[in-house]
Amino acid sequence: AQSVAQPEDQVNVAEGNPLTVKCTYSVSGNPYLFWYVQYPNRGLQFLLKYITGDNLVKGSYGFEAEFNKSQTSFHLKKPSALVSDSALYFCAVRDNLVTGANNLFFGTGTRLTVIP
Amino acid sequence: DGGITQSPKYLFRKEGQNVTLSCEQNLNHDAMYWYRQDPGQGLRLIYYSQIVNDFQKGDIAEGYSVSREKKESFPLTVTSAQKNPTAFYLCASSVAGTYSSYEQYFGPGTRLTVT
């Protein structure tokens, strides 16, 4: 079955410290992985994606993610957290069983709180 | 929120009434999607459309209906058959194509409350 797991509902980190938001996946075929961020009462904003190539993907707002095939993980990272990074983060994987559209399976989300 | 608009932002309805949520995009995307978001459950796919005049059920289509008469528009109707309609509804669009891996762009969402 294709799915995404975000094992932590909540992550707290002090401002200036590095942050990691975890994601593991299960997919048929090649994994196409995405990270999105959601601020309160807003839509999701795309941060970055992994399609192929380098395992370290760089995205918007200083975020990056590391793809690890052997561990089936795609953790989101940032070297130095900002208070403004506090939001809900979603990991997603493309549904490879659907052709044409780009259907995604989303994780349940991780709420990141950066403490001043 | 890119070039996708959803209206209204907040919607209140009485139980038993059908309600239609609007979604319009100017990104020239072929594919469009409707999701429902509930606390702690992430996003669940209701319907998707790969092209005009075609749409497919997602994981939780019961009690919902859609149409895709224009490329730019993908309205969602929440019918009285939907048992728990109160939720945050998100519309998205993307480039379509077999074996592609394009990200979805999301609208700002509509919060529907049914009492």
The tens digit of pLDDT for each residue in B10-39 reads 999 999 899 999 999 999 999 999 999 998
Of the partner residues A42, A90, A101, the one whose CB lies closest to the CB of residue B108: A42
Average pLDDT over residues B88-102: 82
Alpha-carbon distance of B115 to B111, in angstroms, equals: 13
pLDDT at A29: 84
pLDDT for res A28: 83
Angstrom distance (rounded) from CA B59 to CA A37: 22
Distance CA B106, CA B25 (A): 10
Compute the distance between CA of residue A88 and CA of residue B88 in angstroms, rounded to an integer.
Answer: 14
What single-letter amino acid sits at B22? S
Taking the C-alpha atoms of residue A104 and residue A49, their distance in angstroms, rounded to an integer, is 12
Q: For B27-84, what is each residue's pLDDT tens digit?
A: 999 999 999 999 878 899 999 999 999 999 999 999 999 999 999 999 999 998 888 9
Q: Single out the residue of B84, B103, B85 nearest to residue B94, CA to CA.
A: B103
Query: By the CB < 8 Å criterion, does B52 face chain A?
Result: no
Does A102 sit within 8 Å of B94, measured CB to CB? yes
Residue ranges for chain A with pLDDT beneath 70: 100
Cα–Cα distance between A76 and A56 in angstroms, integer? Answer: 10
Contact B96 A102 (CB under 8 A): yes
Q: Identify the residue whose tokens are 């019918």.
A: B79
Nearest CB to B106 within list A44, A49, A101: A44
Dist. CA B6–CA A43, nearest whole Å: 10
How high is the pLDDT of residue A30?
Answer: 85
Q: Shortest Cα distance from B40 to chain A (angstroms)?
A: 6
